[in-house]
Amino acid sequence: MKRRTDMGKKEFLEDIYEAYVYAYPAVIEELTRRSYLNSKRGGEERLKTNTLYHTAALADATFKNVVAPNIDTVYSQAWLDLKDGALVFHKPQIDRYVSIAILDAYTNCEHIVGTGGDGAEETDYLIIGPDYKGEIPAQYKAISLPTNRNWLIIRTIIYGREDIEEVKRIQREITLSPFQNTIQEVLYPQYQEDLEYKPIEKISSLSLKEFFGIFNELLKENVDAYAPENLKTWEKYGIKAGGVYEEKEETAEKELEEEIKKRFAHETAGGLKGDEKFPGWIYPDEAIGVYKDNYFLRANVARNGLGANPVTMCVYPSAYTDSNGNELDGKKKYKIHFEKGQLPPVEKDGFWSITLYDSKERYLVENEIGRYGINDRDALKANEDGSIDILVQKEKPKAEWIPNWLPSGEEAFNLILRIYLTKDEVITGEWKPPIIQEIL
């Protein structure tokens, strides 16, 4: 093997950085999987492979499993392992927004079923991996996945606390089971204290050897359908299926690790920034979820919005500044102004929301009324001319404006405007998002 000291430093650094960016989504998804599958103390069962796990509560400021969580839908999810066989997924007849996304081991959104996919009809699916050689009975609709490990994410809209029992009923009717006993019963994993972590923090703490060690294990059974040609190039560094990453001398390795992480953090800082189509609002790349060979976008989304929907399901304009270009600051007051008739346009079963996150860690911000966003299900107060103002500030406003109040903290924050099942005019730019004005 050619030693690293014989290689040009610049070429070597670029190779390792490209490998890091490419592998990042797979590694953070794997770390997230391990964290979710870790059983709680005292033997309390939490989650296991190939098993649906439902929640009927919306995310709040204590939720730290993923950054920038949505607060419009409750989640059901399952971590799939298809190396030994197939799974049967049952979707009942649905009368509301219930979207089922399946991400492969590299966070590519391979399939959407349910709302925004194949519709609301009752359907049985056969979920198969790359090694499946069996038959597909006529009663099943096949979902073929390129990797053995996959992440199934179900988003179900909830209409307030009074809707929880109905959501639970829908969740009970959604099932996942082994096909013809091809997959054996999976035991709950033993609790491991070192798996109690925030994935975004854990991945940042990994050495390059640990990082690529996880990736090399994943490569053994999970081939990326969009793998780059230079995957072969990285093999000389020990980055390959079942390989061992070749470390440099300790001091040099530490310098390399710091340089790689610093560059990645810098290039992905500030979230999913794209084109600033309108003052203050940045529209992410339309390739979100269907990245193909856009490896940097895939890594950026994995760091700043793991599990994000493709634009066919949801458009995510985000704001880090007001309409004058000044950073959004919790110490200031703002007004988000919608002109009459200019609320976000959506298709049937679509909806919208504006959610506030702290800019440093991109989690929901704790506040006195437990409100983390404003949405189209809220009873918003309209102005006399029919326009609508949303007040973004830390201090509680007058009583009449509390329905329109989105509390902020004291630090810098950002906003995400989620528009589910959007109409085309949002994507084309015909519809303009609201003005964000500082209140002086």
- The CATH number that applies at residue 325 is 2.60.120.600
Task: Map tokens 């703490």 to a residue.
Answer: 205
Domain membership of residue 126 (yes or no) is yes
The full DSSP string for 276-292 is: EEETTEEEPPTTTT--T
Q: Is 185 part of any domain?
A: no
Per-residue burial over 372-409, b if 16 or more Cβ lie within 10 Å, else e, is bbbebeeeeeeeeeeebbbbbbeeeeeeeeeebbbbbb
Q: Of 267, 294, 325, at which residue does a domain stop?
A: 267
pLDDT at residue 154, as a whole number? 96
- Residue 188: per-residue pLDDT: 66
Residues 60 and 146 in one domain: yes
Residue 200 counted as domain residue: yes
Hey, what are 5's tokens?
Answer: 């000291």
The total domain count for the chain is 3
Nearest to 27 by CA among 208, 172, 293, 187: 208
Residues linked to residue 109 through DSSP beta bridges, in sequence order: 103
Q: Based on the fold, state whether residues 433 and 298 are members of the same structural domain.
A: yes
Domain stop point among 239, 267, 295: 267
Query: With the CA atoms of 337, 341, 343 and 345 taken in that order, what torsion angle do they form, in degrees rounded to the nearest 10?
Result: -150
User: What's the token pair of residue 189?
Assistant: 């994993």
- What is the reported pLDDT for 274? 61
Pair (134, 258) in one structural domain: no
Question: Which residues neighbour 119 within 8 Å (Cβ) at sequence distance 6 or greater?
Answer: none
Task: Report yes or no on 183 lying in a domain.
Answer: no
Range of the domain at 422: 275-438
Residues of the chain with pLDDT under 50: 1-4, 41-44
In a domain, 306, yes or no: yes
Per-residue confidence (pLDDT) for residue 42, from 0 to 100: 45
pLDDT computed for residue 160 by the predictor = 84
Same domain, 170 and 55: yes
- Predicted local distance difference test score (pLDDT) of residue 272: 64
CA of 87: how far to CAs of 91, 104, 152, in Å?
13, 15, 12
The pLDDT of residue 2 is: 44
pTM, entire model: 0.87
Look at residue 390 and tell me if it is in a domain.
yes
Out of 126, 146, 178, a domain closes at 178
Residue 197's Cβ-count burial label (10 Å; 0-12, 13-18, 19+) is: middle
